[in-house]
Amino acid sequence: MNAADRERYSRQILFPGIGEPGQEALLRAHVAVVGAGALGSFHAAALARAGVGSLTIVDRDYVEPGNLHRQWLFEESDAAEALPKAVAAERRLARINSQVRVRGMVADLTASNLEDLLGGADLILDGTDNFDARYLINDFAVSRGIPWIYGAAVGSYGLTMPVIPGQTACLRCVYPEPPSGGQPTCETAGVLNAIVSAVASLQVAAALRILCGQSAEVHSRITTLDVWTGAIRQIGAPRDPECPCCARRQFPYLEESRRGPITLCGRNAVQIAERERPIDLLQLKARLEPLGEVRANEFALRFLTPPYEMTIFADGRAIVKGTSDPGIARSLYARYVG
């Protein structure tokens, strides 16, 4: 560490949990942030300011005006240009801390690109908005022994859980399967920026502690918080000795055949059929009604969000018209179905 670093990070170095050895470790560290939306853009900015040496930012979306109230890194000009979030993040982070190496990757995380995108990371931060990505990250992180920090926020409520392979519970110890049915999302239920920064801050603090070599002090537990009511709870999350992932080391989400939206040839449409997840279409219709034209019966739901049209079936399968890009289709699915 040179004199300029010592000055720049002085207040952080003074904190006993970090000190000079901790700061040295941060400067050497490489963190991957998956999803540069509300949580992820906060993670990236906080880690860049803290002096984490290398950041990989993975995101498949573009900045839109509706993101700006909660996505800390982005500005009106990014939305006006419809810049990819990974690109806008890279530009902004270079202005926040020019010493940090930032790799902005415009990509949809899949089993086939996980290695390229996350392989070199010392730690992974979850800034995603969907369970498909989290199960993928969990299998990858546990298989490689890379710590990752789960986080989620919607409405005024959020939760976080650190996963340190071999030490704490993993996502599948706690939730063996992704939840079935549609989930409330920021698009359908709204979200406060205060819950986003609260959850993201807890994730970042856990990340700093792990990167500074204090993994042993990080507890296996879920923290839930509601910034509207002020309720905060911590729930112990014991490891499942029979966990298929961290105990039996089965990693089905890493098998490429499991995933894979199909581009429907010549139809400018993508079919999503990644998993069976029965959905109550009438409930989903009620959630989507304020957002666009929607029609549903018990078999199928059609939702217009121009220029796209989504048809969602009761078994969770969907066809997204108006794109042949699986990343866009998956993004729309995560936003509106959950």
Question: Which residues contribute to the site for Zn ion (CB under 5 A)?
Answer: 170, 172-173, 243, 245-246
For residue 295, the tally of other CB atoms under 10 A from its CB is 11
Return the number of the residue (201 or 250) whose C-beta is nearest Zn ion: 250
Q: Compare residues 48 and 170 and give the one whose CB is closer to Zn ion.
A: 170
Pick the closer one to Zn ion by CB: 45 or 169: 169
Q: Which of 67, 21, 133 is nearest to 125 (CA)?
A: 133
Question: Minimal distance in Å, beta carbon 240 to Zn ion?
Answer: 6
Q: Least distance from C-beta 124 to Zn ion, angstroms?
A: 16
Q: How far is the CB of 198 from Zn ion (least distance, A)?
A: 26
What does the longest C-alpha to C-alpha distance in the chain come to?
67
Question: With respect to Zn ion, which residue has the nearer C-beta, 54 or 138?
Answer: 138
């992180």: which residue's tokens? 141
Q: How far is the CB of 246 from Zn ion (least distance, A)?
A: 3
- Packing angle between helix 19-28 and helix 193-211, nearest 10 degrees? 100
Nearest approach in angstroms of CB 243 to Zn ion is: 3
Q: Which is nearer to Zn ion, 168 or 331 (CB)?
A: 168
Is 173 or 294 the residue whose CB approaches Zn ion more closely?
173
Return all residues near 195 (Cβ < 8 A) that are at least 6 apart.
153, 154, 155, 156, 157, 158, 225, 226, 227
* Shortest reach from residue 150's CB to Zn ion, in Å: 12
> Cβ contacts of residue 34 below 8 Å, gap of 6+?
40, 58, 109, 117, 118, 124, 125, 126, 127, 128, 133, 137
Q: What are phi and psi of 320, to 5 degrees?
A: -105, 115
Quote the CA–CA distance of 123 and 118 in Å, as a whole number: 9
Q: Kindly tell me which of 235 and 286 has the beta carbon lying closer to Zn ion.
A: 235
* Strands ordered across the beta sheet of 148-154: 101-106, 54-59, 30-34, 123-126, 148-154, 157-163, 221-226, 232-236
In whole angstroms, give the CA distance from residue 320 to residue 308.
Answer: 7
Q: How far is the CB of 238 from Zn ion (least distance, A)?
A: 10
338 C-beta neighbours (distance < 10 Å), count: 23
